[in-house]
Structure 1
Amino acid sequence: MEPTFLAASPFLPLIGLSVLILVVHVTLQALIATKELGREWNAGARDDDRKPTGKLAGRAERASANFRETYPAFIALAFGVIMAGDPSGIALTGAWIWLVCRIIYIPLYLMGIPYVRSLVWVGSMIGLLLMFFVLMF
């Protein structure tokens, strides 16, 4: 028998979408690195320590690293809110804010757009804080 709080949670699709964002980051890194260094490098064992050095490859790597820094917090908070419940909906709003900001962040970072990218990152942190708020108060 499946617990009803898990089956009915609106957070589960958001968690699924967050995994999709992770896959997009990994795929972008791989495609850009392969374009720069070639299929043989990508298919090989990479024992020669060659790394992509282009601007776009660096941006893709940094954007992915930035996502992976906040991703565990999102997952932990999402499951925490599922367990605790969220009658006010504040945490769900926070989760959507985090998700939308993380999607917007990718092209902003790849295009090298300053300031707006930072504001979008701050937006994603606000989303996490809303989720945190529900668990703490």
Structure 2
Amino acid sequence: MDFPTELGVLTCLMLLAASLWIPFIVGSSSDPAATDGFARPHDVSRLKPWVHRAFRAHLNLLEQAMPFAVLVLIVDRMDGFTALTTWTAIAFFWLRVAHAVGMISGIAKMPLRPLIFLGGWVCCLIMGYAVFAAGFAAS
């Protein structure tokens, strides 16, 4: 059985999402502003800026990765993978890596970070188009 690139990329994306909590936990547990290690959730506004950004980067990835993942799985179910979906999945993954690294490090400032997020949204729209294209092709 052929393992589609889109599912491989989706696997890597989900591993990134499952691991992006690590910078926040490391940063918040080593930050003296975190007075009570058992207080959940941390008051991220009192933590070092990079720790706050790590928290937001993780949430932001989850916000965009979940719709994208569902769309990829729908396209897979409809047997609708094409060269467009392959390159869209690859672009989405690397955009999300760039967004996380840029946000946590503070390198991706305005307007770069929103533009990266916008690129991810466009990837979601393209994958949504692929769902409809596969649906119309099947009918």
TM category (shorter chain) comes to: 0.7 to 0.9
Partner of 1:17: 12
Q: Of 53, 62, 68, which residue of structure 1 is paired with 2:62?
A: 68
Asked if 2 retains the 8 angstrom alpha-carbon contact of 1:94 and 1:126, the reply is no
Aligned CA RMSD, in angstroms, stands at 2.5
Cα 1:129–1:48 change in 2 (3 A) is closer
User: TM-score scaled by structure 2?
Assistant: 0.79
* Paired amino acid for 1:21: L
Asked if 2 retains the 8 angstrom alpha-carbon contact of 1:77 and 1:131, the reply is yes
3-state DSSP of counterpart to 1:8: coil
* Paired amino acid for 2:17: L
Question: Which sections of structure 2, spanning at least 5 residues, go unmatched?
Answer: 134-139
Cα 1:118–1:50 change in 2 (3 A) is closer
Partner of 1:35: 30
- Map Cα deviations across residues 91-132 of structure 1 (whole Å, 9 max, x no partner): 222111111100000121123322111111111111111111
* Paired amino acid for 2:116: V
Matched, 1:116 2:116: no
Question: Which sections of structure 1, spanning at least 5 residues, go unmatched?
Answer: none
Q: Percent identity?
A: 15
Separation (CA, whole Å) in 1 of partners of 2:41 and 2:132: 45
Q: CA deviation at 1:12?
A: 2.1
User: TM-score scaled by structure 1?
Assistant: 0.80
Asked if 1 retains the 8 angstrom alpha-carbon contact of 2:89 and 2:123, the reply is yes
